[in-house]
């Protein structure tokens, strides 16, 4: 077994072949910073060949899963021009691809905010468990940008019709609605029930042979078709163009200033 990396934005706990990964930036509702993206990618790389780790359970500290991208990174990227935004955006897409293709069974435990990139992360998990009061949404278009790296995985998870509705309205919805559209598999009404459901799912996972699971997952993903590098590269460029354009500038400033953007009625 490889030694787990030291992380500043993640809490790691390995128990009986299950690696529990907690996104640990509760002061920002676990917003996905570049550092967190890098640490998650490094973690996935370090455990990829470790057959002793059978499952990855991803949750969030402080009652929230993940509120999306870190606005501070957006501000820093602005100083680097369009290329900075493209690289920032594409790094998250690479993370989603790597979670999607992890040989371990990936389980997400979704509470509180599950927004933007957090929703994307839920979409690439093999099994998703949610609190009924969790708040899901794709707020990007309300900020003048687009869910560039997330959209292909959302379409793959819930289908084009529902993805269009959610992305083009920036609507919020709860855990019960997330189950109805196929985004999550189980919804529970309190923390104890959520923990018990996780134990049940893990018991089922650990009955399966890890090598067979890894190959079956690979087969299923190949059968369903995958978001490609070329598509995500192009989407990152679209994101860069949008965030540096007039709507992106206005949407970002409105968010920081806690006001409605100019186009909001």
pLDDT in tens, 17-59: 999 999 999 999 999 999 999 999 999 999 999 989 999 999 9
* CA-based nearest residue to 122, from 100, 148, 94: 100
Q: Mind listing the pLDDT tens digit for each residue in 202-214?
A: 999 999 999 999 9
Q: Across all residues in the chain, what is the average pLDDT?
A: 93
Q: How far apart are alpha carbons 124 and 58 in whole angstroms? A: 11
Output the pLDDT for position 251: 86
Q: Mind listing the pLDDT tens digit for each residue in 60-87?
A: 999 999 999 887 877 777 777 778 888 9
Q: How far apart are alpha carbons 252 and 166 in whole angstroms? A: 20
Average pLDDT of span 126-155: 96
Q: How far apart are alpha carbons 142 and 133 in whole angstroms? A: 22
**Beta-bridge partners for 56:** 19, 106
The CATH H-level (homologous superfamily) assignment of domain 1-191+204-265 is 2-enoyl-CoA Hydratase; Chain A, domain 1 (3.90.226.10)
């Amino acid at each position: 077994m490889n030694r787990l990396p030291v992380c500043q934005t993640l809490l790691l706990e390995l128990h009986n072949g299950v690696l529990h990964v907690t996104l640990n930036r509760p002061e920002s509702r676990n917003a996905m910073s570049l550092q967190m993206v890098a640490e998650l990618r490094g973690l996935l790389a370090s455990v990829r060949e470790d057959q002793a780790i059978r499952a990855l359970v991803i949750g969030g500290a402080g009652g929230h899963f993940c509120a999306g991208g870190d606005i501070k990174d957006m501000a820093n990227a602005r100083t680097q021009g369009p290329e900075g935004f493209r690289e920032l955006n594409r790094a998250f897409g690479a993370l989603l691809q790597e979670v999607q293709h992890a040989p371990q069974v990936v389980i997400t435990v979704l509470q509180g905010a599950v927004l933007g990139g957090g929703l994307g992360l839920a979409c690439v998990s093999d099994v998703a468990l949610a609190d009924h009061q969790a708040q899901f949404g794709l707020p990007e278009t309300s900020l003048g940008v687009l869910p560039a790296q997330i959209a292909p995985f959302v379409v793959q998870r819930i289908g084009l019709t529902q993805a269009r509705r959610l992305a083009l309205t920036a609507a919020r919805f709860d855990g019960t609605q997330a189950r109805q559209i196929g985004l999550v598999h189980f919804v529970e009404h309190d923390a104890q029930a959520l923990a018990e459901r996780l134990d049940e799912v893990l018991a089922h996972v650990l009955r399966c042979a890890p090598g067979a699971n890894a190959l079956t997952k690979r087969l299923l993903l190949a059968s369903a078709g995958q978001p490609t590098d070329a598509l995500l590269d192009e989407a990152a460029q679209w994101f860069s163009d949008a965030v540096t354009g007039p709507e992106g500038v206005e949407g970002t400033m409105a968010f920081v200033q806690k006001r409605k953007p100019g186009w909001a009625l």
